[in-house]
Every structure is written in structure tokens, then in C-alpha cells.
Amino acid sequence: MRKLILVGLFALSFANIFAQSNELLNLRIEARGDYQHETIDGDKIHNNSGFKGKFLNIRMDGNISEEFSYSYRQRLNKPNKDASFFDATDWIYLTYTKKNWSVSAGKLVVGLGGYEYDRAPIDIYYASEYWNNIPCYQLGASVAFTTNNKNDKFVAQICESPFRKNAGNIENKEMLAYNVMWYGSHDWFNTIYSVNMIEYLPEKFINYIVLGHKLNVGDFSMELDIMNRAVSGHAYLGKDMSVMGELMWSPINCLNIFTHISYDVNNTNKQGDYCVLPGTEITRAGLGVEFFPIKNSKDVRLHLNGCYTWGSNNPLGALSDKQTIIDAGVTWKMDLLSFKRK
């Protein structure tokens, strides 16, 4: 019944937006299906091999007025952990923009730096231990300032702590995260930096410094993310961290060839990091290729990639020692409805 009510409210709001002739609306569907083969130390993992429907998303973006805009993305094939339709909503938020300032509120992407973290899940083939464990969509609000030349954007955000469910009881669900970010775009050099204070228990914080870099030179692009995490009492630098890097070569417009590597380590013995657990030191590396068969369009993508993982991980972690994954698939994105101002 609750799901029917939510679908009904969505339909009514959609009709209201469409009825306003000055509004902009873009409704898209995104899907990805793969065939993958996974082994650990040579033994096939049957539950994670074969044909997989990885993603089925619906996305809607538009403007209610000159100042107000909205964005919504629903993961249609995501398990609803709390039997809630809203739990499978990646984001849904309203933004008010005036000159250089904007304010957003709703379910947002938690404001963490780094290019691996910032990429849409449908565009990730294999990723770090950290990426596999961070609950990155939470309710909150943010304020942003963009410079006149649009090269820099600074964001301050308060949202629910992504670790409130890890804390284990209902009183801890009001835990918060405080995030400050800088998006920089300066020709060949780009950045996504953040400083974060995130409650892992009431009034107990894990602190992040995340430095994400992207360099574009000719047909090559390189991403390098450095993330350091610490709770009070830790040696602050280097004990609990992740490094993620990617090098991509695009020799022609329809082809990308890339290599990606990640390294996650937590040599502490203290509670606080629920993404890279104590006892972890694990590396994942691999190669891949993307091909776009439609001329001058990225809406259909074929991919083939493989990765190998080695090192030690906590038994509750996502990555495994001597793990090999080979993956091939297709992604497609389609505009279902577009309504623009005249």
C-alpha cells in the first residue's frame, strides 16, 4: 500500500510539472546487464558468475522555476533493506539557486571527495574496498558557492551519518556527518577535495581528508584519489587509508582503454571505520575497454574488463584474496521524455 501511495504521489507531481509550460523536464532510463565469471584461488564462485542484471535506474531532472530545480534517481532493481520504496531512491532533492549561491535539501549524495566515489555506480566495473562499503546516499542539506568563471565550487553539507545503521540501535539513528568540499576545474587539472567529520557513534567522529585529482593531457586522462581516515587516538596519517587510481586512453571518440588500481589498508585496532575494517590490507588491479557503437553518442556502451585482487581482508569485507573477475556487458541510456522551454 505504501508503495502504491508513493507511486501515486510521484505521478501527481510529474503531472503538475508537465502542466507548467515554462518548465524543463528530462526523464531518462538507464540499464546495464553483464556476464561475469568470478574465481577465488582458481575455484569458480557460482553465485557471482553468469548473467547479471546490474542496474535499472529511472532519472528525472528539471526546473520548477528560474530559481528552483530538482533531481531524482530511483534504483529499480536495488534491494529495499527496510522494505521501503524510499530506501532504493539514490537521491531526490530540490535546489534553490540565486546568482553564485545554491541551497539543496532532500536525499543527497554524501559530500565526500574523490573521482572513484563521485562516479555513478552504473559506470563502475570494479572498485576499492572502501567504495564497496560506503552507504553514499543520505538525507540532508547543503549550501554551495560557485565562482563567476564557474571554475570552482565550494560546498558545505550536513546530512545523516552513513554509519548510523552500523551503530546498532535506534537511538543512534540521529547521528550526523559534516562535510566541506571543493570542486576545481582548471583546464587540464581538476580536483574533488573534501574534509569530513562523520559520527560513527553518538558524539564520536571519524575524520576524513580526501584529495581527488584528475589530469587531462591529449588523449589521456588520469585520476588519483588519496583518502585518509582517523578517529581520536589513531596515528592520524597512513594507518587507515585508501588510494585509487585510473589511467584512461581514448585514441578515438568511440573507444576507451583503461587500467584501474586500488589499495585499502587499516592497520588500527580501533572501532570507527566501517568501510575498511581493521586487519585489511588489500589491492585490486585490472584492465578494461569501452566501445560506443553509435556515432557521436554515449548512450550505448559495450564493455569488457578483468581484475585481480590480492592481500588480506577482514572476513566481513567485500574483496577477497586471489579473487579474479572477468566481466562483459552492455549499458544503455534513453530519453523517455524531454520537455524544454521555448
CA separation for the pair 259, 246 (Å, rounded) = 6
pLDDT for the residue 169: 62
**Of 266, 261, 259, 258, nearest to 230 (Cα)?**
266
* Portion of the chain with pLDDT greater than 90, in percent: 77
pLDDT for the residue 338: 81
**Of 129, 72, 136, 70, nearest to 97 (Cα)?**
70
Would you say 174 and 137 are in contact if contact means Cβ atoms under 8 Å apart? no
**Of 341, 338, 332, 337, nearest to 123 (Cα)?**
332
Instruction: Say if residue 278's pLDDT is above 50.
Output: yes
Q: How confident is the model at residue 235 (pLDDT cuts 50, 70, 90)?
A: low
Identify the structural domains of the chain with CATH numbers, from first to last: 2-339 (2.40.160.10)
Whats the size of the chain, residue-wise? 342
Predicted TM-score of the model (pTM)? 0.88
Would you say 290 and 259 are in contact if contact means Cβ atoms under 8 Å apart? no
- Tens digits of per-residue pLDDT, 18-50? 334 455 789 999 999 999 999 999 999 999 999
- Tens digits of per-residue pLDDT, 76-91? 887 655 546 677 899 9
